[in-house]
Amino acid sequence: MNLEITGTGSFIPEIKVPNSNFSNNIFYNAKGEKIEQDSQLTIQKFEEITGIRERRYARPEQQTSDLATIAAQKAIEDAGLNPEELDGVIVAHNFGDIPHGKIQSDILPCLATRVKHNLAIKNPNCIAFDILYGCPGWIQGVILAYNYILAGQGNRYLVIGAETLSRKLDKHDRDSMIFSDGAGASIVEARPNGISRGILSTVSQTYAEEEAYYLYYDVSRNTASENQTRYIKMHGHRIFEFSLTHVPSAIKKCIDQSDVSIDQVKKVLIHQANEKMDEAIIKRLFRLYGSKPPEDIMPMSIHLLGNSSVATVPTLLDLLRKNKLEGHSLHSGDIIVLASVGAGMSINTIVYRV
């Protein structure tokens, strides 16, 4: 039995937000001190480091579960399935549905139940549940589906990563420019044995000592504000160092378990968090094997889509499968790696044969 991704779909929000939109923001550092540097220079340095030129935000009337539903419909259609044939719906997110202009997250019922409802799936044996696993959530959802199928708990799962991070941003924090909205979905399905393809190996890790709070929740960096709303915060430099130290070895462990060689890997689809960080991770991975990465090894979407957390890897996979990434393509038999790192701090990776 092969466990394959038989369909993918994504929803990229329509609202484009270029870096110039932040030119009038007044930024503060972690100590609450106003950053006197010209905002335009701050934005320029931000783009040089992250690679982000613009990002996408959902329309005010759209919820995270709406984005997830649209991506799911596309994945189901791509796989040629009747939704009633699904054995489960798994949705990875971080903050649930957040109505535009509100501060309270809504996860009752869970987003997976909302998506199942939106898809009008009547089958009670199609289970629906959410996972909170930071940015690696969609990959972890695929790993969960993989293990459910291996355990005999069904044959087809819909796995979605969706987020509207634009509604959890502190306009006085430079890091707020990183985040965006979006959704990506996939069908994980058992197929009869033939040529060995699909998921070859998986690795998941969580570091929860001091690393546990590298990403956290806190009030605005503008300490003069009386607003007690809490926003996404992160220790960016620590995350950068953590990722370079631990992600390459996790990916290597997964590749070694799959019995394929690094030379066979055609693409590495890594969480779109920071261009410089992702490039450094790939270089360190290949250095562990005593080689250098091919120039076309790492497709990127961050330049125009930003960091949509759990949605980045499934969106990237969908764009790649459908030949929508210039200079990149997939062919039958190609070996690819899916990898992510994020809040927890958690890391996971999958080696997959197309």
Residue ranges of the domains in the chain?
Answer: 2-191, 198-353
pLDDT, mean of residues 22-40: 84
Q: Give the confidence band of 296 by pLDDT, cuts at 50, 70, 90.
A: very high
Q: To 10 degrees, what angle do helices 275-288 and 236-258 make? A: 40
What average pLDDT is seen over the chain? 94
For residue 270, what are the contacts with CB-CB under 8 A and spacing of at least 6?
A: 278, 281, 282, 298, 313, 337, 339, 340
Contact 89, 187 (CB under 8 A): no
First and final C-alpha spacing in the chain: 15
At 102 the pLDDT is 81
At 12 the pLDDT is 98
Q: Give the confidence band of 226 by pLDDT, cuts at 50, 70, 90.
A: low
Query: Three-class SS of residue 177?
Result: helix
Distance, C-alpha 329 to centroid of its chain = 20
CATH classification code of 198-353:
3.40.47.10
pLDDT, mean of residues 232-260: 94
Cα(53)–Cα(105) distance, rounded to whole angstroms?
28
Residue of 309, 300, 321 whose CA lies nearest to 79: 321
- From residue 326, alpha-carbon distances to 78, 268, 270, 275, 321 in Å are 21, 16, 17, 17, 12
Q: Which residues partner with 16 through β-bridges?
A: 56
Any idea which residue has 């394959």 for tokens? 4
The answer to whether the 2-191 and 198-353 domains have the same CATH topology is yes
Residue-wise pLDDT for 247-262, tens only, equals 999 999 999 999 899 9
Q: Are strands 335-342 and 265-270 parallel, antiparallel or unpaired?
A: parallel
Cα(215)–Cα(183) distance, rounded to whole angstroms?
21
CATH classification code of 2-191:
3.40.47.10
At 282 the pLDDT is 97
Between residues 326 and 223, which one has the greater pLDDT? 326
Cα(94)–Cα(257) distance, rounded to whole angstroms?
30
Residue-wise pLDDT for 147-183, tens only, equals 999 999 999 999 999 999 999 898 888 889 999 999 9
Lowest mean pLDDT among 94-108, 133-147, 155-169: 94-108
Between residues 18 and 230, which one has the greater pLDDT? 18
Residue-wise pLDDT for 50-65, tens only, equals 999 999 999 999 999 9
Two tokens at 312? 């980045």
At 222 the pLDDT is 81
